[in-house]
């Protein structure tokens, strides 16, 4: 994970505990979880917007024939 081992992760966790305290950790975790969820949703929405809708606006052979039959 980004070239970090277990000792580095433990050191970061200890620093976070010292700075924020034990009482704030659930709030921080909740906020980070919501941020990640919103980021994933935004990126999937952007991917859907970018992907072209194939076949939309084009009539298929069967639907083109059925529309001609209705006119007659």
What is the structure's pLDDT at 71? Answer: 53
pLDDT: which is higher, 46 or 36: 36
Count CA atoms closer than 13 A to 43's CA, side-chain side. Answer: 6
- Whether 20 has a pLDDT exceeding 60, the answer reads yes
What is the structure's pLDDT at 4? Answer: 81
- Would you place residue 51 in the very low, low, confident or very high pLDDT band (cuts 50, 70, 90)? confident
Q: Over range 14-31, report the average pLDDT.
A: 89
Q: What is the pTM for the complete model shown? A: 0.48
Eight-class DSSP state of 34: H
Tokens of 5: 């081992």
């Amino acid at each position: 994970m980004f070239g970090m081992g277990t000792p580095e992760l433990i050191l970061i966790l200890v620093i976070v505990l010292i700075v924020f305290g034990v009482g704030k950790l659930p709030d921080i975790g909740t906020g980070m979880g919501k941020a990640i969820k919103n980021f994933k949703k935004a990126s999937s929405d952007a991917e859907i917007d970018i992907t072209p809708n194939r076949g939309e606006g084009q009539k298929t052979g069967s639907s083109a024939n059925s529309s001609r039959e209705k006119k007659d």
